[in-house]
Chains A and B, each alone.
Chain A
């Protein structure tokens, strides 16, 4: 990487207080698990403290000053999220707990109202359980058929028979990036064909929106779901983007307070968008902090983050190469440009869990297991993989430490 970029990375690292804290063994924290959850910059942490310290109040109810301030900040956060993914208007952003809840909202509201026996749902073999289990249940409830776009050995979707597969499909629900393999799904090839077949398209953006510029109108998707905690925001907050026409026609998901216009003992009329889908007191503090996270990421530059991660991935693929003859197997697309900053691997006969434990001794945090994609792991016959994932605050030094830690694992397991 060029020097200017190194200086920028150094400034970014300084924004994340946790990265300055050594582990209990005195090692530098090398956080390579951002695909599971990202670290938080101090501006996001500060915004949580600011809300609770200075204007904590319920929203959409109180007439007093701090209630108005909280309401304004919450709705401003919605606008920031809308702007971040270029939604047409803030009302198309529904705050949820996370991607999973956003997908379940569509499944229970849109899905139960629109699917019937003879219809089909099309997804891919890559999906995280959060974008698979809701559709299995919806198919069982409605009598619809669940179909899969298959993937090759690198985790790239196979689209030759897509038009055939789209016959009778009412919903295409697919991830933009595989959280296990880092492969990128070409939405620009799939979405037009899906729409031509009369299907609605839902994208699981949990792994994409933190790492690359997203424009939901350019992608022409109908629903887009994501989680705040993977994009420098807090846990417990995520969002669903939906096109207004679809959201307007959908029945409510959760019901109760705040989502109503008028209630009698026998009848209720529902609130307007987006509040129709936000029953009960919202996660106010975390929504506001998610808005701050969107601004922070915009300040860094989403194009820069994507380029930074490609550069890190390329460096990692080269740096780890000497371990390949000793049994290191790296999965996913071979070229850094064709993948997100996610590298799944196995090393000789060392189980991924043992690897992760040994890496932990060196301060290196990686995920080990099935990554909530058990069917994909079964398809490739991998009991588990270790996964290193990169984000804006990772550096080449982090990958050097990963390499050294892997060498130590080889020593401990007497790998020749």
Chain B
């Protein structure tokens, strides 16, 4: 049980990567999980080819939500917005690396939901119990 939370989850929780704000974001979104108050904001700079040049996230929440968002920011630099908009939940589930109970799934996926919203320029559709629909 001691590895219920993997070492790297705690590391990302305590030392979040790409945490903060961009001076002039080209795209941004934020959302919260009203059940628990977890809150995440994502800001993106986009280059001329529609690729992510830089990213920052900010927010408050549990280790799962914050580490999941932190890991996500590490994996998206250079990726096209349209690809990000198509990302699926299994990416974050794999990142978090533990069996996530249904009630914690919203914590794990909040960062991705906000990132996709930023990429789409609108709130991503996010049914409670299904992966986000491919746009």
Q: Do A and B come from one complex?
A: yes
| A412 partner, pick from B5, B35, B61, beta carbons under 8 A | B5
Query: Does B37 reach chain A (CB closer than 8 Å)?
Result: yes
Query: Does A387 reach chain B (CB closer than 8 Å)?
Result: no
Report the separation of the CA atoms of residues A333 and B67 in the bound assembly, to the nearest whole angstrom.
Answer: 34
Contact yes or no, B64 A369, CB < 8 A: no
Report the separation of the CA atoms of residues A352 and B101 in the bound assembly, to the nearest whole angstrom.
Answer: 16
| A369 partner, pick from B2, B35, B39, B63, beta carbons under 8 A | B35
Report the separation of the CA atoms of residues A383 and B34 in the bound assembly, to the nearest whole angstrom.
Answer: 11
Contacting residues, chain B, for A414 (C-beta < 8 A): 10
Contact yes or no, A351 B4, CB < 8 A: no
Contacting residues, chain B, for A352 (C-beta < 8 A): 36, 62
CB proximity of B131 to chain A, nearest CB, Å: 22
CB proximity of B12 to chain A, nearest CB, Å: 13
CB proximity of A408 to chain B, nearest CB, Å: 7
Q: B1-60: which residues lie under 8 A (CB-CB) from chain A?
A: 1-2, 4-5, 10, 14, 35-39, 60
- The chain B residue with its CB closest to the CB of A353 is B62
- The chain A residue with its CB closest to the CB of B59 is A383
Q: Which of A135-143, A198-206, A354-362 contacts B (4 or more CB under 8 A)?
A: A354-362
Question: A354-B64, A408-B1, A412-B1 are known contacts. Are A349 and B37 too (CB-CB below 8 A)?
Answer: no
Contact yes or no, A357 B101, CB < 8 A: yes
Report the separation of the CA atoms of residues A352 and B107 in the bound assembly, to the nearest whole angstrom.
Answer: 12
Report the separation of the CA atoms of residues A46 and B61 in the bound assembly, to the nearest whole angstrom.
Answer: 42
Contacting residues, chain B, for A374 (C-beta < 8 A): 37
- The chain B residue with its CB closest to the CB of A374 is B37
Contact yes or no, A351 B61, CB < 8 A: yes
Contacting residues, chain A, for B2 (C-beta < 8 A): 411-412
Report the separation of the CA atoms of residues A370 and B38 in the bound assembly, to the nearest whole angstrom.
Answer: 10
**Chain B CB within 10 A, most for which of A353, A361, A408:** A353
Contact yes or no, B36 A354, CB < 8 A: no
Contact yes or no, A354 B14, CB < 8 A: no
Query: Does B79 reach chain A (CB closer than 8 Å)?
Result: no
| B36 partner, pick from A349, A361, A368, beta carbons under 8 A | A368
Contacting residues, chain B, for A329 (C-beta < 8 A): none
Question: A349-B14, A369-B35, A370-B36 are known contacts. Are A361 and B1 too (CB-CB below 8 A)?
Answer: yes
Report the separation of the CA atoms of residues A412 and B5 in the bound assembly, to the nearest whole angstrom.
Answer: 7
- The chain A residue with its CB closest to the CB of B100 is A357
Contact yes or no, B38 A354, CB < 8 A: no
Report the separation of the CA atoms of residues A412 and B4 in the bound assembly, to the nearest whole angstrom.
Answer: 7
Contacting residues, chain A, for B38 (C-beta < 8 A): 353, 383
Query: Does A151 reach chain B (CB closer than 8 Å)?
Result: no
- The chain B residue with its CB closest to the CB of A369 is B36
Query: Does B86 reach chain A (CB closer than 8 Å)?
Result: no
- The chain A residue with its CB closest to the CB of B9 is A354
Query: Does A297 reach chain B (CB closer than 8 Å)?
Result: no
CB proximity of A155 to chain B, nearest CB, Å: 18
Q: B60-117: which residues lie under 8 A (CB-CB) from chain A?
A: 60-64, 101, 104, 107
CB proximity of A327 to chain B, nearest CB, Å: 14
Report the separation of the CA atoms of residues A383 and B65 in the bound assembly, to the nearest whole angstrom.
Answer: 13
Report the separation of the CA atoms of residues A351 and B63 in the bound assembly, to the nearest whole angstrom.
Answer: 7
30 A–B contacts from the bound complex (CB under 8 Å): A350-B63, A351-B61, A351-B62, A351-B63, A352-B36, A352-B62, A353-B36, A354-B5, A354-B63, A357-B4, A357-B104, A358-B4, A361-B1, A361-B4, A369-B35, A369-B36, A369-B37, A370-B36, A370-B37, A377-B37, A383-B37, A384-B36, A384-B37, A384-B62, A408-B1, A412-B1, A412-B2, A412-B5, A413-B5, A413-B10
What 8 pairs across the A-B complex have the smallest Cβ distances? A351-B62, A353-B62, A383-B60, A369-B36, A370-B37, A354-B63, A354-B62, A384-B37
